[in-house]
Structure 1
C-alpha cells in the first residue's frame, strides 16, 4: 500500500524521487495503459531532500500537504492495472497488507468472514472471525488476514475514505470459473474499525503492567514551530537533541507513548526489537498478547509497551510518517558499552547519525 504525487508535466515517463519502493519490472514499465489512473509513469513519491519547497530537514509546507498524494497503489499499480487475486473455491487464502507509504489506509474485504492472524509479522493467539470491519494500517504496519474462499464470484478488497486517490486502491478477489457477482465498491461507507486490544484468546505474555522494570521512559509526542517551519518533537526536543533510551543488555524496558499533537497521527517504530503492547488509554490489553514493532497513536492516545533489551546496538525509535521523522521525531535506544564493528567512510557523501 503506497501513495504517489502525479507530476504536472505531461508525457514524462521517468519516476522521480521514488527510491524506497519497487514499481515492478522493466517489462511492465514499457507497456501502455488504457486509463489515466492505471499508469504509475511520471509519478513522484515525494522527495525528502531539501529544496525550494522543503526547508527544515526537508520539511516545508509541501511536506505537510498530504492531499498532494493523489494516487494510491497496491504493489506499485493503481486502478484498473492492479491484477485480481485468483482463488479456487475451498482454498484457504492469506493476504499480507503492508503499508510502505506516508498515511494510514482502511482496508475492507468484501463478501467473506476473515481472521487477523498476525500483526507486524507476529502471530496472534486464537484469532476469531470478523466481517465487514476495516483494518486501519498505519505507515510501517503489517497485517495478515486469512479467509476461506467459500463465496464464489468476484469480490472487492478496497481502501475506504474520501481522498482523491482512494478509489485507485482496490482490486478483486476473483474465483476461477465464477465471475457472477453483484458486489460494488463502497469506499465512502462508514464501517467498524478493527481493534487488537480485545481480539483473540487471552494468554500470559512475557510482560505485565504491574511488574518491575529496569528502565522506564515516557515519550511526549508533539509539535512546535521553529521559525516558519513545523517541528515534530519528543519531550519537547528534536533529533539529534532528543534524549536516548539508555539500556544495558538484559534490561526490561517500559515505554509510555503519549500523542499530545492536535491533529497528527504518529506511527512509532522501534528498530531491532518487538515490544508487547500492555495498555491503551489506561486500559489493559485483554485478548491475545500483542507483539509489534510499530504502534500508531492518534491524537490523545497513550500506549504502554515493554521489551527486553536483548539485541545490542544503537537502534532508532522514530515516527514512521517519514515527514515527521525528518522534522525531528526520532530518538535512539542505545546499549551501554556497544561499539560498532565498522567505521564510516570519511569520503562518503552523507553524514552518519
Structure 2
C-alpha cells in the first residue's frame, strides 16, 4: 500500500452495487467524495474471470475419486454443516472425505444455503474446473455449485472449512483423510 490514500472496493453480500472506502496510510489529500479513482474505471471482477497461466495447470487426467460436499444450514437455526452434518471436534474423522496418495480428486461443492461461503482447503492447492485458476480458497455463492480438482500429494489429515469463522465454529468443517 502506497503512502497517502488507497481505494478499497468491495462487493457487499446480498446487496446491489459496490462499497467504496479509502485507507489512509500517511499524508496526502483524499480524492473528492463520490468520485471513483481512475484505476477503478474498468470492470470489477470477483476472480471468476481470471485464467491460470498454462505453466501452473494440472496435467489433464480423469479424477480417481469424486466427492460431493453440500453446504448446509441457515441463519435462522445457525446450524451450519457439510452434507447435513455438523463437524464434531471430539470425532474429527467422522464423515471424512477419503483419498489416497497420488490420486486426482474432484470435489463438487453445492451451496444449499442462502449465504456466501469462502471454502478453504488446507495442505493443497486446487484447480477450478471451469477456468483452471489455482487456489486454496473459493467463494461459493448461494445456490451455486463449484467444481475443483487437486492432486493428493501431501499425506495427512487436512481440514476444509468455511472461512467465515462463525460458520466453521458452528460446524461447517470437514477433513480430507489419506487412507493407507
TM-score of the two chains, using structure 2 as the length reference:
0.75
Aligned to 1:206: 58
Point out which structure has higher relative CO (alpha carbons under 8 A, 6+ apart). Answer: 2
Q: 1:136-190: CA deviations, max 9, x gaps?
A: xxxxxxxxxxxxxxxxxx654124478xxx78x6225779xxx577544558xxx
Query: Structure 1: where are the runs of 5+ without partners?
Result: 1-83, 87-153, 280-284, 338-353
Contact map agreement 2:122 2:158 (CA 8 A) in 1:
yes
Question: What RMSD, in angstroms, separates the aligned Cα atoms of the two structures?
Answer: 3.3
- Other structure's SS at 1:323 match: helix
The aligned counterpart of 2:122 is 271
Which consecutive residues of structure 2, in runs of 5 or more, have no partner in the other structure?
13-18, 37-41
CA contact (8 A) 2:52 2:133 kept: no
Q: Tell me the alpha carbon deviations over residues 24-60 of structure 1, each in whole angstroms, 9 at most, x when there is no partner.
A: xxxxxxxxxxxxxxxxxxxxxxxxxxxxxxxxxxxxx
Q: Is the 8 A contact 2:156 2:177 kept in 1?
A: yes
| 2:72 pairs with 1:222 | yes
Matches within 5 A, 1:41-52: none
Corresponding residue SS for 2:79: strand
Q: 1:247 aligns with which of 88, 99, 116?
A: 99
Give the alignment partner of residue 232 of structure 1, picking from 77, 80, 83: 80
Q: How many residues align?
A: 165
Paired position in structure 2 for 1:256: 108
Q: Deviations over 1:101-154 (max 9, x none)?
A: xxxxxxxxxxxxxxxxxxxxxxxxxxxxxxxxxxxxxxxxxxxxxxxxxxxxx6
SS in 2 for 1:258: strand
Which aligned pairs between 1:270-289 and structure 2 lie closer than 5 A? 270-279=121-130, 285=131, 289=132
Structure 1 position 319 matched with structure 2 position 169 = no
> Per the alignment, do residues 222 and 192 of structure 1 end up closer, same or farther by CA in structure 2, a change over 3 Å counting?
farther
1:158 aligned residue (8, 21, 25): 8
Highest CA radius of gyration, 1 or 2? Answer: 1
Contact 1:158 1:185 in 2 (8 A): no
Secondary structure of 2:80's counterpart equals: strand
CA distance in 2, matches of 1:174, 1:329: 40
Q: TM-score, normalised by structure 1?
A: 0.41
Aligned ranges 1:56-71 → 2 under 5 Å: none
What is the rounded CA distance, in whole Å, between the counterparts of 1:198 and 1:332 in structure 2?
Answer: 29
